[in-house]
Chains A and B, each alone.
Chain A
């Protein structure tokens, strides 16, 4: 047993440094509510909040901590949606704990968040005590899944596996083509968007159909959507 320093700066209950949390959510009321809940605890604090993915990244860049918890509201939408943010943060800040956060999110959304790199998911619809406990667990590098029902684990795994199966079959370029195809563009429009010839696009599409075992573009898009590779209109 080592002696604790005598100046009293360290004690059992108040850690030297409070756990820093950054809240990124499109809804101001959610940010305010989470802010009140977290700031009320002696062992954690909200360092910053943001309403869009890009503001979120700026806020995270400003904090100089090696470890913060980032709560990413799955409701973030647009080109830089929640999944884009999670993926980007995972690459840039491997030591931060990133948690998806939603209200009764469906298992597909949760699998999608975990697949792109979230360290867990917390639902806004659970008891506040459990919510805070989930943040502490995440700070301890534990995987966290705090949902109102415990029945979702199986479905989440199933979703991740579907995604993996689709992705493992396709090359990086084929995935890009599929994501653009899901926006409903013609082959010519897709070619312009990706800066290649129309012929290249049709070759890619034919190969994608073959690999996924589908007969049409609709079949391929349906499979990509079920796997969470694309959500209608919002690429990652």
Chain B
């Protein structure tokens, strides 16, 4: 155990001592250091097994929460962090890793395949997106590919991401068109409605008659193609016209 720690320390020193990492003797493949973050011990064990049977990979830390993940990565600076994005605050965890450069690469290993989650992760610039059901057994091999500079995203995940991208582009375009069609007053009223104000409160706030507010709201509904306040707010949020807080 102590010997292994010494080796690891020596590797880290070598790493720091070399001015041009690309010039390291290519014959000797450096052992890559991994950290695994997943809520389930069984999954962490499976990842450990898959990685430890792959030459050149060494799992140097585990975490079952985002807080622990950040702490472990801060201490160990792994080459790859393998993260289940379904952990509470998973997105914030990955953002934290990239912002503070706590890991060389980030690979998502998860069950979640909803378009918004996949696209959100890719936006954060992760190097891989693997689905547990199909990739858990081969995770070591996939990590190897990431270390070779490849981006590893399974075709099914890629298809989901692209479909979501299309939806996202359409909503962005519609949002921009609808926004351009709103008068400043209508936009003002939309913002107030989405904060939960009643028609009467909106009228008082803007110093106009409730009747006038109703007229604006009717036009607003037509432009948003909705029939109720709830629909109006939900559509405005999905079009990015207002932010819920």
Interface of A toward B, CB cutoff 8 Å: 111, 114-117, 119-120, 142-145, 149-151, 153-154, 156-158, 160-161, 163-165, 167-168, 171-172, 175
| Chain B contacts with A in 199-218, Cβ cutoff 8 A | none
CB neighbours (8 Å) of A156 from chain B are 165
**In contact, B119 and A157 (Cβ under 8 angstroms):** yes
Given contacts A143-B165, A143-B166, A157-B119, contact A149 B151 (CB under 8 A): yes
A175 to B181, CA, bound (A): 12
A163 to B119, CA, bound (A): 17
**In contact, A153 and B165 (Cβ under 8 angstroms):** yes
Q: Which 6 residue pairs spanning A and B have beta carbons closest together?
A: A143-B166, A167-B176, A172-B180, A114-B169, A154-B122, A164-B172
**In contact, A157 and B168 (Cβ under 8 angstroms):** yes
Q: How far is the CB of A70 from chain B (nearest CB, A)?
A: 16
Closest to B178 in A: A168
A143 to B175, CA, bound (A): 19
A154 to B153, CA, bound (A): 12
Query: Contacting A154 at CB < 8 Å: which of B123, B167, B240?
Result: B123
**In contact, B176 and A158 (Cβ under 8 angstroms):** no
**In contact, A114 and B166 (Cβ under 8 angstroms):** yes
Q: B78-108, CB under 8 A of A: which get 1 and which 0?
A: 0000000000000000000000000000000
- Main DSSP-derived SS at the A contact region: helix
Q: Does B184 contact A (CB under 8 A)?
A: yes
Q: How far is the CB of A18 from chain B (nearest CB, A)?
A: 25
Q: How large is the interface on B (under 10, 10 to 19, 20 to 34, 35 or more residues)?
A: 20 to 34
Given contacts A163-B172, A168-B176, A168-B179, contact A119 B165 (CB under 8 A): no
A172 to B184, CA, bound (A): 11
Q: Does B66 contact A (CB under 8 A)?
A: no
Query: Contacting A151 at CB < 8 Å: which of B151, B163, B169, B180?
Result: B151
- For A153, A156, A167, the residue with the greatest tally of chain B CB atoms inside 10 Å of its CB is A153
| Chain B contacts with A in 119-162, Cβ cutoff 8 A | 119, 122-125, 151, 153, 158, 161-162
**In contact, A115 and B119 (Cβ under 8 angstroms):** no
Q: How far is the CB of A194 from chain B (nearest CB, A)?
A: 16
18 contacts between A and B (CB under 8 A): A116-B173, A142-B163, A143-B163, A143-B165, A143-B166, A143-B167, A144-B162, A150-B151, A151-B151, A153-B162, A154-B124, A157-B119, A157-B165, A161-B172, A167-B176, A168-B176, A171-B184, A172-B181
Count of inter-chain pairs, beta carbons less than 8 A: 73
Given contacts A145-B162, A154-B125, contact A164 B240 (CB under 8 A): yes
Q: Does B241 contact A (CB under 8 A)?
A: yes
A171 to B183, CA, bound (A): 8
**In contact, A160 and B172 (Cβ under 8 angstroms):** yes
**In contact, A157 and B122 (Cβ under 8 angstroms):** yes
**In contact, B180 and A171 (Cβ under 8 angstroms):** yes
Closest to B126 in A: A154
**In contact, A160 and B169 (Cβ under 8 angstroms):** yes
A154 to B161, CA, bound (A): 9
**In contact, B168 and A160 (Cβ under 8 angstroms):** yes
Given A157-B168, A161-B172, 6 new contacts (CB under 8 A): A114-B166, A114-B169, A145-B162, A153-B122, A154-B124, A163-B176
Q: How far is the CB of A235 from chain B (nearest CB, A)?
A: 15
CB neighbours (8 Å) of A115 from chain B are 169, 172-173, 176
Closest to B151 in A: A151
Q: How far is the CB of B221 from chain A (nearest CB, A)?
A: 19
Q: How far is the CB of B129 from chain A (nearest CB, A)?
A: 10
CB neighbours (8 Å) of B172 from chain A are 115, 160-161, 163-164
- For A115, A117, A150, A171, the residue with the greatest tally of chain B CB atoms inside 10 Å of its CB is A150
**In contact, B241 and A168 (Cβ under 8 angstroms):** yes
CB neighbours (8 Å) of B181 from chain A are 172
